[in-house]
A and B are shown apart, each in its own frame.
Chain A
């Protein structure tokens, strides 16, 4: 009975979105203030309705209503309560509803927190967001409806994929979608600026906090996905350059470029077109990612169920949203060069270089991801593009980026001298070389490329800290501007990430062994002793649980209990790795297959992963930097101009 209510609320939300999409934009076009004021109420009402629909679906899961097809496919009577919540977004239809919910929340937030924006501009921003919402709701209601009935109701559900019965599913998609969807806000700001014909540092200043928050969430969302894959999949890997992973990484790269571009446009009025294009591209890549995951065009471990109808719909949607905004860009983007001049040695130049490298990185990932499809479509063969390609090119492209980072930080705006900058960078360079050499000395098996990577990380961290020191020195009051703290945190995060990446890819140990109870393995200074397996009962599975004692220098430091689980429904089996986490290393054990019928001998995989946590720690630092930047008080200025002046100005806009 209630899920039909869900259908109705979605339809109502669609009507709301239509109002939100049409009236404010019409109002802005014809100067009708009544129409423009519809925006706030429509935004909030839409949010309420979508949230209601989401709650209805969630309650169907909690109550295990197997007469709802989506619930029957993704849940089971034995499924623990916690996972019943997360099962809501575990498959296509529900995850789209989550997308829509998060979009509605962002729109509501913009409606609530943008009261200081000029009226016309605000109406346009919300109107564009409304139109985006319309497309998505149409998609959900007509092709991916989670409220469909299954009659007669199933006795028992199919069960949630065991890999998804994990805390990771609870947090990774919501965080990721917060980022993905959040990029629609700077997108809307950019398109609204184009519509109004007023592309200057104003619109950039308004859109920066939104961009920072979206970027922060995207950073943590991608990092969570990586961390989850690491501990859940049992092979010690944390990034596979899978098409869907790439689909989340491309918007991140472009959003990073966007943040930096916005800094220049706000400060110096330059790069306006770059900023517009990056804002449009970031969200476009989010939509492209949605398409790739759900259309069945690419083979991926993450791909949702594909359906030609759905693929066509998203493609049309993509075409309209992105094609429309790029057409607008072609027509209305400022033709004259804007903003102040600057020389070759200046912060603007470094940031321009930064933009270029990040854009090429994103383009490279796009090229590699779609290349097999391109070749197949042209009937030129069937090839694969995988980690060897992406990893190699990404590392090369990192070099100019990493080198430029501290240079950019120390450069003055507008005009600077290379000698002066070089002088400031003496100490960071020393620190970098020091750490590089230290790495080579302390870790004998490390490759020299990794040592360079560590040096690069130290260069970035050192440069950031020295720059911070310089700012502190110049700022007697010791009250540091938020944007400097944010920048320092984020850049240090990158450095930490680089160190983790370099070390873990070079000196990790992986060993596959046959073990029986009593066997020991010695590696990387640790002794792993296998004590055998016992049978353990879980809420909806039975597992063989192994016990491993890990000691170092004769002292026991950890006990690990990896499991090989067999789920009651569907007979799926999976391995649950056991990890002893550490700041400088992870110890990781997983059970493979039993090698005999009695289950006495087992295939065991043992990993020593040094510094792997630094990869995600770096991401956390970056996220924090993004959030600190968003909280910068500079952006919370009240509307300055007097109403009459505003009216004449914005009337033209």
Chain B
């Protein structure tokens, strides 16, 4: 090994990096959430259907829940709709819809058209709460444990695989721990 082989070695390392790069290319635009294992951002918001009623994160302590950010303009939200419905119907946890950057009328119309899969829907009118959650795409889902800690985030549509492999096992672990 002498100085004349150094360029070749450096190049080999570069190729290795680029090979890995090709493999992980489809996740290059995904931003991992800094909120994992941190407390859920505080929220105190009106219910979409009944603005007099409000719900806060404090009142959600003691049970696990999924916060699902959605909007009527979000095409992919319609795609994940069946999965969300199925999850809510499974009754393993509360599925909390968070409607953001949307007009109330548009949101209601969307729900009428597709059906309301959520246990409860809150309205984040100015998008402030979505910023606190670090939301940059739609839909996004956050799994929160009974102590109010975010344990999992899904950027993009929920799929049956994700529900099966990521969400339900974690919920089961939470309930196991409680007992």
Contact = CB atoms under 8 A, between A and B. Distances in A.
A–B contact via C-beta, under 8 angstroms = yes
Interface of A: 273, 277, 280-281, 284, 288, 291, 295-299, 306, 308, 311-312, 315, 318-319, 322-323, 326-327, 329-330, 333, 335, 370, 373-374, 376-377, 381-382
Contact of B22 (A273, A308, A330): A308
B5 interface: yes
A112 B2 CA distance: 39
B25 A315 contact: no
A308 B25 contact: yes
Main secondary structure, interface of A, reads helix
A326 B7 contact: yes
Contacts of A273: 4
B5 A299 contact: no
A374 B22 contact: no
Interface range on chain B (Cβ under 8 Å from partner): 20 to 34
Interface of B: 4-5, 7-8, 11-12, 14-15, 17-22, 24-25, 28-29, 31-32
Nearest to A295: B22
Contacts of A329: 4, 7-8
Contacts of B29: 299
Given A370-B17, A377-B17, A382-B32, A323 B22 contact: no
Nearest to A327: B8
Given A326-B7, A382-B32, A374 B25 contact: no
Contacts of A284: 11
Nearest to A297: B21
A30 B28 CA distance: 50
B4 A377 contact: no
A381 B34 CA distance: 10
**Top 6 A-B residue pairs of the complex, sorted by shortest distance between their CB atoms:** A297-B21, A326-B8, A377-B20, A330-B5, A296-B25, A311-B22
B25 A297 contact: yes
A291 B11 contact: no
Given A281-B7, A297-B21, A382-B31, 12 more contacts: A280-B7, A295-B18, A299-B29, A311-B25, A315-B18, A315-B22, A322-B11, A326-B11, A330-B7, A373-B17, A373-B28, A377-B21
Q: Which of B5, B7, B12, B25 has the largest count of A CB atoms less than 10 A from its CB? A: B7
Q: Which of A370, A376, A381 has the largest count of B CB atoms less than 10 A from its CB? A: A376
A299 B8 CA distance: 27
Nearest to A312: B22
A370 B21 CA distance: 10
Q: Which of A280, A322, A330, A382 has the largest count of B CB atoms less than 10 A from its CB? A: A330
B31 A323 contact: no
A627 B36 CA distance: 58
A261 B74 CA distance: 57
14 contacts: A281-B7, A296-B28, A298-B21, A308-B25, A311-B22, A315-B15, A315-B19, A319-B15, A326-B7, A327-B8, A330-B7, A370-B17, A377-B17, A377-B24
Contacts of A311: 22, 25
Given A297-B25, A329-B4, A374 B17 contact: yes
B4 A298 contact: no
Given A297-B22, A315-B19, A323-B15, A376 B28 contact: yes
A291 B29 CA distance: 18
B55 to A, nearest CB: 32
Given A329-B7, A330-B5, A376-B24, A297 B18 contact: yes
A312 B19 CA distance: 8
B27 to A, nearest CB: 8
A333 B19 CA distance: 28
Contacts of A382: 31-32
Nearest to A319: B15
A26 B31 CA distance: 52
Contacts of A381: 32
A133 to B, nearest CB: 22
Q: Which of B8, B14, B18 has the largest count of A CB atoms less than 10 A from its CB? A: B18
A291 to B, nearest CB: 7
Contacts of A297: 18, 21-22, 25, 28
Contacts of A308: 22, 25
Contacts of B11: 284, 322-323, 326
